[in-house]
Structure 1
Amino acid sequence: MPSDEERLRAALTRPARPSSDFDLNPAIVLPAGRVLRPAAVLVAVWLRPEGARLVLTKRSSHLQHHPGQIALPGGKVDAGDDGAVGAALREAREEIGLPGGQVQVLGELPAHETVTGFSVTPVLALLRGDFVPVPEAGEVEEAFDVPLSHVLDPARYRIESRRWRGEWRRYYAVPWGPYYIWGATARILRGLADRVQG
Structure 2
Amino acid sequence: MKENQKIVIIDYGAGNIQSIKFAIKRLGFDAFLSHDEEEIRNADKVIFPGVGEAGSAMKMLRSTGLDKVIPELKQPVLGICLGMQLMCNHSEEGDTTGLGIFDAEVERFSKSVKVPQIGWNQIVNLNSHLFDNVEDGEYVYLVHSYYVPECADEIARTAYGVNYSTALHRDNFYGVQFHPEKSSKTGEQILKNFLNL
Q: TM-score, normalised to structure 2's length?
A: 0.31
Larger helix percent: 2
Q: Choose 1 or 2 for highest CA Rg.
A: 1
TM-score normalised per structure 1? 0.31
